[in-house]
């Protein structure tokens, strides 16, 4: 029998008290407004930059009917000059006024370049201000010049499996009495405005709509049915890269698609921190830099003893959740890790492990179909 | 590499995939290189690991566990090279598609000419092409700019103009790209590589315009004249830049590059090299496919011309819901011969998308995945056919007029000309029964005439592809003996008929001179057992309008190879029509499954 297995699926994090560090960066170089040691609030702007406005390309030579090399003599504006919408930027007059062509700027902006190779003129719109905030309250532990910094805090940290929508904030409120209960429209009240509302096994589109009307910041639930997801997104999902959707609230699903009882561990943890302020993000990306939706609840509790997660592996006694049929959602403890490949019902030969689901029930599942429950 | 080839004992090859890192261990057995064992582990490119070498180590540990041979150093900090008799390997090489692989934007002056050639060059280099910008792509300037600004490519390929031809147009395109200021995926301070492969007369102008804002590389023109497509210099530059710029930013790659003796290859390049091995060895037209978790790569070598397409949005895990979106859930359900609630199927597939490393444990789960695979492959082939077309803009001597024919867009990849189909990728390689892989490929690609089918035994084509760049003899030995599973031969006439009507008579003369005569009606599939080492003489006489390639009703004689499944006689017609009525369709599907022994009969009974 193998004592340890390294080939496992990393589990979602559900931690009561852990150090959370968030890297906050501008998309382009700019100005950082913080220094190491600063205490910041979640909505404090920590860096800002000016992003160049959109360019407008004018085929001026073509419009005037002149050769590109002659463009310079017909321009009425030079590179670097500001222009307003409809202002004349180039003119061609000839034959004693019989030919009188002008080109107007379609936008307010600045003449960026005049090309005597192509005859094109590029006018750039006014720059756009870009800011990044701290997202979580905490201490600045690192500054990245011209980009941003790292903010750290002690917090409860919960990962979901899938989400929609971006960063938001709100107080945790538990709307249901158990993780098995569906979150329905009847659970939504006006006092839930701005909150991170926690449901149980399922949330429907009707409930999401009511929550959006009530101004709820985020809904957390165990599962959602595909048609409800489609209605909420207003389109079918293609690949799991989310976070930029135009949705009225952030949605965080903790277990999967369909009706899924929320993990007791997750539900109880969120319940313990009811009325605490949370920073949440629904952004999800399954590959090329995996992101999972998250709920961060800063608090003052002492940190949990740090486990060396990277070398733990699965050993007998490890708590796992089964993440595929036929035992989807079941939780148990590993009792054995056979080395040899074993035949499962699909007739595949795979590495397996045996899980005790309690009450004497031991099942065999592929090792790939479990995730460690990280405590 | 310290030993001569003849002294080498062990080779380790890995593929760091988007989902899984796969280790393959090869050994020299009495002068013959053979596959020994496989190990797999989830790829660790994500937080908290953010180091691909951890996943490599985990996969290698599986190999160590299964063989009892230590490969990693005592502190597991590296792979021991060379083998000292007790531990280590004599060569370590790897491919990778982790981190999403290479994502490129391609720009060319004319969509159907330079842009299309540039697209093929990028795909041939192993890239995923995020968008193709061209002067005549139907978008207005501001739309192109907005699109470029939203994309976050790893690299840009710019082409346009023949050498000595019009120059202004490609510079216009360059000015547009420069003005749009594309931002790379890999961070604010990373200078975006741009490969210029257009009209050589404007290289100086391009250099002056672009060098300050991009990491510019200039190579030979992809279309120096209209009649020639010269993509090798661009492909080589793309690959080198990929290694130097993109790979080095991915977490753990700098460490991984130190572990390996051979430059890391993008997985599709490794796969493509392996497909070419088959075409070179057998001197046949080959259609290959790599059905992965995120992408479907299709390769064709027809008339010596190699083309690769990437359907970046069609895969069996990460992008499985995109397969549903593109084909429609009904097209997936039509391949499932028992009642499953539509929403239940969608839920299962969406849960697979968000938990991509899981595997099917039950028979119904397996059949659902196989149904999705058929659709992903079918769509991938359609996409490939749109890329594998004749060069456009070329004067056609055969036409009556001398007008450039830019309307011709038909593919030259015709199934009746394909001699060999080869499948690789996790689902195809790990299918529990060979008949499953054969029939999935047969249903999806619908080969016509007489076609041999192969599969990758345990998914090692990328590994052997990269190995073939340094030790082609070792690679072919393993490929031939352990990787390439001969599934058999499909015999399928073209034509349509009603279920029950005669389609063909097949006379098979077996190696022991026994004769087997089969008469098949429309809708039937049968299998004649013939092993991989055997050949049989066949005479196929199609009925009426059915055609085996020599005209309707004309008989065809041939020597066919066997395989682990055998000779698959397919009288369903081409294209295959599935009945709209679910009950009739289920009955047909179950007949086909049974005829080929695709699934456990008792298991199927339980599901019905």
Residue B396 pLDDT? 43
- Report the residue of chain A nearest B18, measured CA to CA: A287
| Cβ atoms of A326 and B341 closer than 8 Å | no
Q: Cβ A55–B180 below 8 Å, yes or no?
A: yes
Which of A25, A236, A368 shows the shortest C-beta gap to B357?
A368
Show the tokens assigned to A327.
């035992």
pLDDT in tens, A131-166: 999 999 999 999 999 999 999 999 999 999 999 999
What pLDDT digit, counting tens, does each position of B234-244 carry? Answer: 988 998 887 77
Q: pLDDT digits over B42-96, tens only? A: 888 766 677 889 999 999 999 999 899 999 999 988 999 999 888 999 999 999 8
Task: Tell me whether the CATH fold assigned to B5-97 matches the one assigned to B101-253.
Answer: no
Contact A83, A114 (CB under 8 A): no
The residue with greater pLDDT, B312 or A259, is: A259
The predicted-structure confidence for B102-157, as pLDDT tens digits, reads as follows: 789 999 988 888 888 898 888 877 787 888 999 888 888 888 888 888 888 889 99
Contact with chain A for residue B150, Cβ under 8 A: no
Task: State the Cα–Cα distance between residues B50 and B55, nearest whole angstrom.
Answer: 10
A68: its two tokens: 């590109």
* Interface residue B168 vs chain A (CB under 8 A): yes
Q: Residue B20: which of B49, B35, B42, B5 has the closest Cα?
A: B42
Contact list, A254 vs chain B (CB under 8 Å): none
pLDDT mean over B183-192: 72
Backbone angles phi, psi at B34, to 5 degrees: -135, 155
Q: What is the rounded CA–CA span in Å between residue B226 and residue B162?
A: 7
- Contact list in B for residue A239 (CB cut-off 8 A) is 313, 318-319, 321-322, 353
- Among B168, B351, B432, beta carbon nearest to A68: B168
Q: Which tokens in the block code for residue B256?
A: 């991984």
Per-residue pLDDT tens for A347-356?
999 989 999 9
pLDDT at B70: 95
Task: Answer yes or no: do B142 and A226 touch at CB < 8 A.
Answer: no
pLDDT at residue number B157: 96
> Could you tell me the pLDDT band of residue A312, with boundaries at 50, 70 and 90?
low
CA–chain centroid gap for A12, Å, is 15
Q: Give the contacts of A139 (CB within 8 A, at least 6 positions apart).
A: A37, A38, A39, A40, A151, A152, A153
Tokens 């392996």 sit on residue: B274
Q: Tell whether the model's pLDDT for residue B189 goes beyond 90.
A: no
Mean pLDDT of B426-434: 92
| Model confidence at A375: pLDDT above 60 | no
Angle at B102 between CA B99 and CA B105, to 5 degrees: 130
Alpha-carbon span A183 to A270, nearest angstrom: 15
Delimit the CATH 2.30.30.30 region(s) of chain A: 309-372
What value, to the nearest 5°, has the Cα angle with vertex B251 and ends A283 and A7? Answer: 85
What architecture is the A309-372 domain classified under in CATH?
Roll (2.30)
> What contacts 24+ positions apart, CB below 8 Å, involve A331-334?
A331/A263, A331/A357, A331/A373, A332/A356, A332/A357, A332/A358, A332/A363, A334/A370
Give the residue, B571 or B399, on which the prediction is more confident. B571
Q: What is the mean pLDDT of residues A111-126?
A: 94
Chain A to chain B Cβ contacts (< 8 Å): 199
> What is the value of pTM for the model shown?
0.86
Residues on chain B touching A345 (C-beta within 8 angstroms): 361-363, 603
**pLDDT of amino acid A356:** 96
Read off the pLDDT band of B402 (50, 70, 90): very low
Q: Which residues contact A155 (CB under 8 A, 6 or more apart)?
A: A17, A18, A20, A136, A296, A297, A298, A299
- For residues B467 and B464, give the distance between their C-alpha atoms in angstroms, rounded to a whole number: 5
The span from the CA of B586 to the CA of B563, in Å, is 28
- In this predicted structure, the answer to whether residue B41 has a pLDDT above a threshold of 90 is no
Q: What's the half-sphere exposure (Cβ side, CA atoms, 13 Å) at B481?
A: 15
Interface of B with A in 364-423 (CB under 8 A): 365-366
From chain A, pick out residues whose CB is under 8 angstroms from the CB of B325. Answer: 236-238
Instruction: List the one residue out of A330, A365, A335 whose CA is nearest residue A350.
Output: A365
Residue B188: closest CA among chain A residues belongs to which residue? A28
Interval A8-48: pLDDT, tens: 555 788 999 999 999 998 878 899 999 999 999 999 999 99
Helical residues (DSSP H) of B155-252, grouped into ranges: 168-180, 203-210, 232-241
Note which residues in 84-143 of chain B have CB less than 8 A from chain A.
98-100, 141-142
pLDDT at res. B47? 61
Contact criterion met (CB < 8 Å) for A239 and B319: yes
C-alpha–C-alpha distance, residues A154 and B447, integer Å: 61
Supply the pLDDT for residue B27. 95
pLDDT at A332: 93
Distances (CA, A) of B202 to B121, B198, B285: 21, 8, 39
Answer whether B48 sits within 8 Å of A236, measured CB to CB.
Answer: no
Residue B400: which pLDDT band, with cuts at 50, 70 and 90? very low
For residue B330, is pLDDT > 80?
A: yes
Two structure tokens written together for B396: 């056609």
Q: Between chains, do B433 and A347 touch, taking CB under 8 Å as contact?
A: yes
Distance from CA of B219 to the nearest CA of A (A): 22
* Window from A128-142, B146-160, B428-442, B499-513 with minimum mean pLDDT: B146-160
Contact A286 B356 (CB under 8 A): yes
Phi, psi of B171 (to 5 degrees): -70, -35
**Closest residue on chain B to A369 (Cα):** B358
The span from the CA of B90 to the CA of B38, in Å, is 17
- In the stretch 281-310 of chain B, residues with CB closer than 8 A to chain A read 293-294
CB-based contact A306:A287 (threshold 8 Å):
no
**Residue B59's closest chain A neighbor by CA?**
A7
Considering CB atoms only, which of A2, A68, A325 is closest to B65?
Answer: A2
Greatest mean pLDDT range, A84-98, B389-403, B510-524: B510-524
The answer to whether A115 contacts B361, with C-beta atoms less than 8 Å apart, is: no
B407 or B155, which is more confident: B155
Beta-carbon separation of A287 and B179 below 8 A: no
Helix or strand (DSSP H, E) at A13: none
User: Do the beta carbons of residue B29 and residue B50 sit within 8 Å?
Assistant: no
CB B218 within 8 A of CB B205: no
Q: From CA B374, how far away is CA B428, in angstroms rounded? A: 11
pLDDT in tens, A199-253: 999 999 999 999 999 999 999 999 999 999 999 999 888 888 888 888 999 999 9
B314 touching A (Cβ < 8 Å): no
pLDDT of A310 above 50: no
CB contact under 8 A, B175 and A290: no
List chain A residues with CB under 8 Å of B433.
Answer: 347
Per CATH, the number for B5-97 is: 3.30.420.40
Kindly give, in sequence order, each residue whose CB lies less than 8 Å from that of residue B58, ignoring residues fewer than 6 positions away.
A6, A7, B21, B41, B42, B44
Average pLDDT of the residues in A68-72: 93
**Angstroms from B514 CA to nearest CA on chain A:** 34
- CATH number at A14-21+154-298: 3.50.30.10
Give this complex's ipTM: 0.88
Please report the pLDDT score of residue A2 as a whole number.
Answer: 42
pLDDT at A306 over 70: no
Q: Which of B19, B181, B347 is the closest to A52 by Cβ? A: B181
Instruction: Round to whole Å and give the CA distance between B292 and B18.
Output: 9
Residue B408 pLDDT > 60: no
Q: Which residue of A has its CA nearest to B64?
A: A339
Give the three-class secondary structure for B224.
coil
Are B574 and B494 in contact, with CB atoms under 8 Å apart?
yes
Say whether B48 and A309 touch across the interface (CB within 8 A). yes
- pLDDT category of residue A289 using cuts at 50, 70 and 90: low
The C-alpha angle with vertex B499 and arms to B494 and B500, in degrees rounded to 5, equals 105
CATH class of the domain defined by A55-124: mainly beta
Class of the CATH domain delimited by B101-253: alpha beta
Per-residue confidence (pLDDT) for residue B405, from 0 to 100: 42
pLDDT range class, residue B166, cuts 50, 70, 90:
confident
Around Cβ B363, how many Cβ atoms within 10 Å? 21
> What band does B318 get if pLDDT is binned at 50, 70 and 90?
confident
Q: Please, what is the average pLDDT of chain A? A: 91
- CB A310 to CB B59 under 8 A? no
- Cα separation, A217 vs A240, whole angstroms: 22
Average pLDDT over residues A320-326: 92
Task: Enumerate the domain spans of chain B.
Answer: 5-97, 101-253, 286-391+414-607
More confident: B516 or A7: B516
Query: A369 contacts in B (CB within 8 Å)?
Result: 358-359, 361
Whole-angstrom distance, CA of residue B545 vs CA of residue B456: 36
B358 interfaces chain A, CB cutoff of 8 Å: yes
**B325 vs A118: CB contact, 8 Å cut-off?**
no
Determine, for residues B65 and A227 on separate chains, whether the beta-carbon distance falls below 8 Å.
Answer: no
Arithmetic mean of pLDDT, A313-334 = 90
């Amino acid at each position: 029998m193998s004592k340890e297995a390294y080939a496992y699926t990393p589990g979602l994090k559900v931690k009561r008290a852990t150090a959370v560090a968030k890297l906050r960066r501008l998309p382009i170089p700019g100005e950082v407004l913080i220094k190491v040691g600063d205490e910041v609030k979640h909505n404090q702007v920590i860096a800002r930059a000016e992003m160049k406005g959109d360019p407008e390309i004018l085929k001026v030579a073509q419009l005037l009917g002149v050769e590109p090399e002659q463009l310079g003599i017909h321009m009425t504006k030079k590179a670097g000059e500001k222009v307003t919408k409809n202002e004349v930027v180039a003119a061609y007059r000839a034959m004693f006024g019989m030919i009188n062509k002008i080109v107007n700027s379609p936008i307010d902006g600045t003449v960026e370049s005049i090309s005597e190779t192509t005859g094109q003129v590029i006018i750039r719109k006014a720059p756009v201000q870009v800011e990044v905030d701290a997202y979580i309250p905490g201490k600045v532990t690192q500054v990245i010049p011209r980009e941003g910094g790292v903010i750290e805090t002690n917090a409860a940290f919960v990962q979901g499996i899938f989400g929609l929508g971006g960063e938001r904030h709100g107080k945790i409120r538990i709307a249901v009495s158990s993780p098995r209960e569906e979150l329905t429209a009847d659970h939504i009240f006006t006092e839930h405005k701005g909150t991170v509302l926690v449901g149980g096994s399922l949330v429907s589109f009707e409930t999401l709509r009511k929550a959006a009307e009530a101004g709820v910041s985020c809904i957390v639930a165990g599962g959602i049915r595909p048609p409800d997801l489609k209605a909420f997104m207003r389109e079918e999902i293609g690949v799991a890269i989310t976070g930029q959707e135009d949705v009225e609230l952030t949605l965080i699903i903790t277990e999967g698609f369909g009706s899924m009882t929320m993990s007791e561990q997750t539900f109880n943890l969120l319940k313990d921190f009811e009325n605490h302020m949370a920073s949440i993000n629904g952004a999800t990306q399954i590959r090329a830099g995996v992101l999972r939706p998250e709920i961060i609840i800063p608090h003052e509790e002492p940190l949990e003893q740090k486990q060396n997660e990277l070398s733990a592996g699965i050993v007998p006694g490890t708590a796992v959740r089964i993440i595929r049929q036929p035992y989807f959602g079941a939780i148990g403890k590993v009792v054995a890790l056979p080395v040899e490949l074993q035949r499962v019902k699909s007739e595949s030969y795979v590495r397996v492990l045996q899980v005790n689901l309690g009450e004497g029930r031991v099942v065999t599942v592929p090792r790939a179909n479990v995730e460690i429950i990280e405590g | 590499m310290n030993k001569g080839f003849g002294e080498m004992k062990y080779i380790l090859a890995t593929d760091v995939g988007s989902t899984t890192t796969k280790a393959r261990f090869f050994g020299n057995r009495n002068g013959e290189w053979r596959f020994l064992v496989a190990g797999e582990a989830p790829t660790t490119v994500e937080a908290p690991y953010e180091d691909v070498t951890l996943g490599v180590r985990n996969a290698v540990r599986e190999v160590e566990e299964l063989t009892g041979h230590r490969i990693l150093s005592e502190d597991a900090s590296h792979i021991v090279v060379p083998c000292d008799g007790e531990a280590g390997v004599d060569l370590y090489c790897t491919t990778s598609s982790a981190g999403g692989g290479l994502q490129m934007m391609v720009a060319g002056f004319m969509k159907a000419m330079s842009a299309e050639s540039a697209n093929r060059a990028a795909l041939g280099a192993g890239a995923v092409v995020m968008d193709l910008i061209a002067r005549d792509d139907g978008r207005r300037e501001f739309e192109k700019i907005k699109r470029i600004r939203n994309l976050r490519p790893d690299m840009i390929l710019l082409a346009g103009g023949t050498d000595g031809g019009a120059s202004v147009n490609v510079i216009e395109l360059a000015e547009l790209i420069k003005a749009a200021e594309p931002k790379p995926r890999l961070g604010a301070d990373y200078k975006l590589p741009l490969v210029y492969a257009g009209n050589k007369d404007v290289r100086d102008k391009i250099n002056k315009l672009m060098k300050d804002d991009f990491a510019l590389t200039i190579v030979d023109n992809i279309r120096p004249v209209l009649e020639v497509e010269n993509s090798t210099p661009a492909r080589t530059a793309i690959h080198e830049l990929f290694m130097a710029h993109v790979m080095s930013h991915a977490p753990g790659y700098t460490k991984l590059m130190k572990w390996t003796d051979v430059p890391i290859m993008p997985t599709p390049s490794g796969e493509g090299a392996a497909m070419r091995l088959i075409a070179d060895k057998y001197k046949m037209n080959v259609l290959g496919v790599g059905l992965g978790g995120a992408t479907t790569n299709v390769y064709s070598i027809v008339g010596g011309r190699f083309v690769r397409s990437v359907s970046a949005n069609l895969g069996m895990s990460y992008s499985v819901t995109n397969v549903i979106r593109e084909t429609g859930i009904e097209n997936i359900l039509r391949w499932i011969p028992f009642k499953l609630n539509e929403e239940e199927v969608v839920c299962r597939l969406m849960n697979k998308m968000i938990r991509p490393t899981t595997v099917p444990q039950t028979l119904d789960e397996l059949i659902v995945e196989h149904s999705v695979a058929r659709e992903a492959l079918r769509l991938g082939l359609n996409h490939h056919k749109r890329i594998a077309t004749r060069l456009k803009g070329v004067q056609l001597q055969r036409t009556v007029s001398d007008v450039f024919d830019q309307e011709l867009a038909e593919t030259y990849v015709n199934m009746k000309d394909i001699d060999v189909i080869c499948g690789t990728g996790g689902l195809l390689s790990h299918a529990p029964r060979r008949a499953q892989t054969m029939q999935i490929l047969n249903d999806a690609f619908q080969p016509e005439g007489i076609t041999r089918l192969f599969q990758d035994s345990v998914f090692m084509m990328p590994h052997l592809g990269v190995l073939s760049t340094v030790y082609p003899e070792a690679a072919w030995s393993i490929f031939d003996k352990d990787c390439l599973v001969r599934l058999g031969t499909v015999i399928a006439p073209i034509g349509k008929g009603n279920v029950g009507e005669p389609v063909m008579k097949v006379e098979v003369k077996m190696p022991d001179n026994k004769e087997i005569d089969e008469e098949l009606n429309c809708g039937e599939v049968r299998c004649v057992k013939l092993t991989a080492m055997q050949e049989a003489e066949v005479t196929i006489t199609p009925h009426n309008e059915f055609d085996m390639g020599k005209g309707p009703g004309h008989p065809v004689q041939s020597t066919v190879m066997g395989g682990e499944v055998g000779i698959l006689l397919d009288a369903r017609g081409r294209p295959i029509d599935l009945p709209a009525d679910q009950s009739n369709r289920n009955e047909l599907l179950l007949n086909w499954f049974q005829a080929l022994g695709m699934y456990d009969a008792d298991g199927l009974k339980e599901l019905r």
